Chains A and B, each alone.
Chain A
Amino acid sequence: MKNDVDVSSHTNAVEFDDGVYWIGALDPSLRTFDIILTTANGTTYNSFLIRGSEGVAIVDTVKENFSDEFFARLESVADYSEIKVIILNHLEPDHTGALPELMRRAPQAKLYISQRATSMLKALLKPAGGQFEYTTVKTDDSVSLGDRTLRFLHTPFLHWPDTQCTYLEELGVLFSGDIFGCHYCDKRLYNDRVGDFRFSFDYYYAHIMRPFKKHVMDALKLIEPLTLKKIAPTHGPILRERPRRYVTHYRELSTSSLSGEVGVTDKSLIVFYMSSYGNTAKMAEEISEGASIVDGVRVSLYDLEGGETDPFVDLIEEADALLFGSPTINGDAVKPVWDLLSSLAVVNLKTKIGGAFGSYGWSGEAVRMIEDRMRGLKMKIPHEGIRVKLIPTDEELEQCRDFGRSIAESLVGKPQKKAVIDFADLA
């Protein structure tokens, strides 16, 4: 017989381990989170209370308009005067909304945040004014509650720069912040009791963590060696039934499915283009030819005419260089190019090389606009793009081949020796 918990009365705390309580809030009507995420049934803001022999700790709070619910649950198991420690795993408002009020009610409590969180904390508490003290912590620092020890793991950028996790040593509970979280609202609270939330878990990873895969891997190096009895994230179910599955799943999600497929040492260069009369297409072919000459670079050439951009996102994530070709139509690059460039928020482009090219009739804005967009996405543009008026001549096609070759060479670390440029000559 199932003994389901039910937290929909909005007043009770749930003890899910010895002296460890969930004191969060349910937000079943939320459908859009942070503008970019949708939810199927809302979300939860999970906050936790840990009782030790020498005091009480609170890990994260809730979104401000859910403060009443949070305080009611807190009051059901502890007195404000008992709170010794407040830990913030990251300072996003959905977990720090009730913080100023909590600090007013428990002025003796000490705040523990990561080093990177200090300037954010000040910005956050500015409106509330007053003095506040805090301690910054890093990996392996810990705070004691007598018979309970809370140890910190520095896990930056997951998904805020200041993110950390907190590990309750004696019980093997990891308070993981948004890591391993999902927007899923179910009053039954535990992963083995709630509805099937797998899609939410993957969706959350794909939108929130995926851009930071490298940092996920770093964090997993700290998390995997831990004895994990339970994982308590800040959104969605508490993972008490086989919690390690979720850690393994994160590693799988962060490892590229086809890694090594292009060749362990080969660099991948992708040329995307659109062309109405075939001029930009001709350029794209020549550029690919030129790039293919360079050893160690695998070149792919794709027409965006099909319109579907989703299938390309994975490819782009794995690529080392991206070139976009577009004719100028009504003073702009064509829509499929913008669609693709705007669907890349979930991948990290920072270390990638970019370039643009295209045919035009009289004004030819497309190439510069694409370059600007790529710079905005923090890509490197080592070579100015090629613009060709209408039909490319043999000489211009030769330039295209050179352009392709130069980009490919910059990928394998063979930049041509460049003279000193004068600042005044820079565009």
Chain B
Amino acid sequence: MAKASITFEDIEQTVSVPAGTRVIEVSEKVGAGIIYGCREGDCGTCMMEVTEGWNNLTEPSVLEEKVLKENMAGRHYRLACQAQILGDCKVKPA
């Protein structure tokens, strides 16, 4: 399976993952600072900033776009419970 890697800036930890893994699955296991509420893309709690490799995550769904907008997300912000890792990227809690 194709490999990708994600770096959590707050804990300076890089993890290599199978492409398609959701950020939430990794961040909780390594103890990164991204926090979760509903875990289903509704509450906006898990907002993170993608500092590198913005294009290496799956495109946000219409619903995610909406939640991001409602939570006044900045540029390159995503929901960690929704975004799937496709290539190398770097993130930190929003």
Interface residues of A (CB under 8 A from B): 115-116, 118-119, 161, 350-351, 375, 378, 380-382, 410, 415, 418, 420-423, 426-427
Contact = CB atoms under 8 A, between A and B. Distances in A.
Interface string B56-94: 000000000011001110000000000000000000000
A375 B14 CA distance: 20
Contacts of B26: 423, 426
Given A420-B14, A423-B16, A119 B31 contact: no
A370 to B, nearest CB: 14
Interface size class of B (residues with CB under 8 A): 20 to 34
Interface string B20-45: 01000010111111011000001110
B15 A415 contact: no
The 3 A-B residue pairs with the shortest CB-CB distance, nearest first, are: A423-B17, A426-B29, A420-B14
Contacts of B17: 423
A241 B93 CA distance: 43
A410 B32 CA distance: 12
A329 to B, nearest CB: 27
Given A115-B70, A116-B71, A118-B70, A421 B31 contact: no
Nearest to A138: B72
A427 B12 CA distance: 19
Contact of B31 (A350, A351, A382): A382
Contact of A351 (B5, B13, B33, B71): B33
Contacts of A116: 44, 70-72
Task: Pick from B17, B31, B33 the residue with the most CB of A within 10 Å.
Answer: B31
B49 to A, nearest CB: 16
Contacts of B31: 375, 380-382
Given A378-B35, A380-B33, A426-B30, A418 B12 contact: yes
Interface of B: 5, 11-18, 21, 26, 28-33, 35-36, 42-44, 66-67, 70-72
Contacts of B67: 119
Given A116-B70, A380-B32, A426 B15 contact: yes
Given A378-B36, A382-B31, 7 more contacts: A161-B43, A351-B33, A382-B11, A418-B14, A421-B16, A422-B16, A423-B21
Nearest to A116: B70
A323 to B, nearest CB: 14
A418 B13 contact: yes
A332 B16 CA distance: 34
Nearest to B36: A378
Contacts of A381: 31
Contact of A415 (B11, B44, B66, B71): B11
5 contacts: A119-B42, A378-B35, A423-B16, A423-B21, A423-B26
Task: Pick from B21, B32, B42, B71 the residue with the most CB of A within 10 Å.
Answer: B71
A375 B32 CA distance: 11
A421 B14 contact: yes
B35 A350 contact: yes
A161 B72 CA distance: 12
Contacts of A351: 33
A174 B14 CA distance: 49
A211 B71 CA distance: 20
A427 B71 CA distance: 32
B61 to A, nearest CB: 14
Task: Pick from A119, A380, A423 the residue with the most CB of B within 10 Å.
Answer: A423
Nearest to B29: A426
A427 B14 CA distance: 16
Contacts of A422: 15-16
A382 B43 CA distance: 26
Contacts of A420: 5, 14-16
